[in-house]
Structures are given as C-alpha cells and as structure tokens.
Amino acid sequence: MRLSAVVDEDEIRGRTRVWIERVVVGLDLCPFAAEPFRAGRVRLVVCEADGPERLARALADELTHLDRVAPDEVETTLLVHPLALLDFDAYNDFLDVGDLLLEKLGLVGSLQIASFHPDYRFAGVSPEDVANATNQSPYPMLHLLRESSVARAVAAHPDPGSIPKRNTERLRALGWDEVVRLRGRPRA
C-alpha cells in the first residue's frame, strides 16, 4: 500500500528498522527480538489509518492475518500507524479497543498486543525519565505477538522478571543523549 504524499512509507519503514536494530535489538531491550528480526519473520505494516475507527479495522485485519499465517513465515507483526493516535493518552485509551478486538475475534490466549509510542510513558514515571524509552518508538505502533512464542521465549530465558529492571538501569546509565543518538532522530 502506498501512503499519501504527506507520509513516506519507505522513510517510516527505514526509521522503524533502525530503531529495532539499534535500540530494541542493539541494546537487547527485548532479548527475544533478535532472532525473528534477523530471520525476516517480523512483518512490518505501515498503516494509513488517520483515526481510531480505521485503525481498529486495520488491527482486526492484521490480528486475523497473524493468526492464520505460520509462525515460521511471520512470527510477529508491527502495525505502524503514523497518522493515527499521535496523542499518547488517546493511544493508551485505544489499547482497550485492541483488547476488545482480541475477544471479538476469539484470539484471547492466542495473540496479544504490546504498545509502543514516541511519547510513551509508564504510569507513575516522570515523562523526563529515560526509562520510558524502552517503549518509545519512532511512530505509534501496535506490536502483535503470538502467546505461544512469548511463552517459549520466557521459558528459555534464565530470569525474564529481571528484564524491565535491567532495561531501566541500562537506559538510565546511557542517558537521553545516547538514546537519541541511537534512535537516529532528535527527541521531540
């Protein structure tokens, strides 16, 4: 799909790949991401939805697609939506819609949705805290994951419960300047 002249799909894909390579995989923020990313089993979909209704339809389509395709073909999907839900609070509220779609499609227990946004902030954490960068992506996106893949990855990790704390410590040690450099674009 080609987006309007306002949005450059190639740039969006490129920036998202740089973020995955340098931040998610490069900093090992998700120790489960490198293998499927390098094996080409991460589906990256740039969605032209400009509002929650169209995004919900695209999300339903992508959830259905991921459920139907074999994991050795597509392990996980990133649904990047650069025109919809740019406000973090609106994005955060939309996550309830994602949960309802999982229920409606009968995919609870099979698939889950993780959240990434340029302005992501954890509850109770200052917006200035670099720890928020663990979930800050170049564009708003919904990460669709297979429950079975998550369960396998967690079972194979020696201490999955330590990952969030380790990530927070790693990012705080690096600081915003280094995180911004790795992302390849100035922080807004």
Distance CA 86, CA 128 (A): 18
Tens of pLDDT, residues 17-63: 999 999 999 999 999 999 999 999 999 999 999 999 999 999 999 99
- What pTM does this model have? 0.93
Tens of pLDDT, residues 56-91: 999 999 999 999 999 999 999 999 999 999 999 999
- pLDDT above 50: residue 2: no
- pLDDT above 80: residue 4: no
Percent of the chain with pLDDT over 90: 93
Domain chopping of the chain, boundaries: 9-183
